[in-house]
Amino acid sequence: MITILDYGAGNLRSVQRACRALGMDSTVVQTPEGLRNAERIIFPGVGAAPAAMDNLNRLGVVDALVEAVRSGVPTLGICVGAQVALDRSDEGDVKCIGLMAGDTRLFNLPDPALKVPHIGWNEVRVVRPHPLLEGLKQGDEFYFVHSYFLDPKSSDHVYSTTDYGSNFASAIGQDNFFATQFHPEKSGRFGLELLKRFATWEGTPC
């Protein structure tokens, strides 16, 4: 059973539909108790980091999410869920959860032809092997919608990069936590394959 954390940040219905399409059982929770009983967690999100953190704190689920990850529960962060998993965000200069050391940065693009937010399909290049990215090859694309990008403190935690004016980390991970800036639930076959692998992932990076 996959537990999807609902904190009012958007795209959980798309995640649910993707799980259903794969024949994967899922449940949506908004409470610490729901997270503490989870076998594996998807932490999705769209929108703004300050609002996301306000909602997470209002629901009182931050400590339970941290406890679940620290106890070894396989966890997948998506988009804003990935961004607020780091220490802080440039968006509102907000303190975030700190599941992984690093910050979320605002795009500062040298090419005026490149618009922010970054919206659309773009290549995801695997730079470090990970079970959830297994089988991806040069040219495989995923769907992005974001104005901020992931900047983990250690390059050892970067598993894929994407070019949009410059290279940014599009998938990061540490132990049983993995997170994507792109939306696997909106990324067709490659995204569904990633979610399918997550359903059986044991929570180890190799």
Q: What's the pLDDT at 110?
A: 78
SS3 55: helix
pLDDT band with cut points at 50, 70 and 90 for residue 100: very high
Task: Say yes or no to pLDDT of 79 above 80.
Answer: yes
Output the CA angle 137-139-141, nearest 5 degrees: 100
Q: Could you give the residue ranges of the DSSP H alpha helices within the chain?
A: 12-21, 32-36, 49-59, 62-70, 80-83, 188-198
pLDDT band with cut points at 50, 70 and 90 for residue 94: very high
First-to-last CA distance in the chain? Answer: 22
**Can you tell me which residue has the tokens 């941290």?**
66
Task: Say yes or no to pLDDT of 11 above 80.
Answer: no
Task: Say yes or no to pLDDT of 108 above 90.
Answer: no
Task: Say yes or no to pLDDT of 10 above 80.
Answer: no
Q: What's the pLDDT at 111?
A: 80
What domains are defined for the chain? Answer: 2-198 (3.40.50.880)
183: annotated active-site residue = yes
Annotated active-site residue in 130, 146, 183, 193: 183
Any long-range contacts for 172-175 (C-beta under 8 Å, 24+ apart)?
172/82, 172/100, 172/102, 173/130, 173/132, 173/205, 174/99, 174/100, 174/205, 175/72, 175/203, 175/204, 175/205
96: annotated active-site residue = no
What would the mean pLDDT of 14-41 be, rounded to a whole number?
Answer: 93
What would the mean pLDDT of 166-195 be, rounded to a whole number?
Answer: 96
- Beta carbons within 8 Å of 190's beta carbon, 6+ residues apart: 136, 140, 141, 142, 184
What would the mean pLDDT of 169-193 be, rounded to a whole number?
Answer: 96
pLDDT band with cut points at 50, 70 and 90 for residue 103: very high
% of the chain at pLDDT higher than 90 = 86
% of the chain at pLDDT higher than 70 = 100
Q: What's the pLDDT at 56?
A: 96
Which of 173, 169, 182 minimizes the C-alpha distance to 205?
173
Annotated active-site residue in 19, 130, 185, 193: 185
What would the mean pLDDT of 138-150 be, rounded to a whole number?
Answer: 95
Q: Hey, what amino acid is at 81?
A: G
Annotated active-site residue in 79, 96, 130, 146: 79
Task: Say yes or no to pLDDT of 114 above 90.
Answer: no
What would the mean pLDDT of 40-66 be, rounded to a whole number?
Answer: 95
141: annotated active-site residue = no
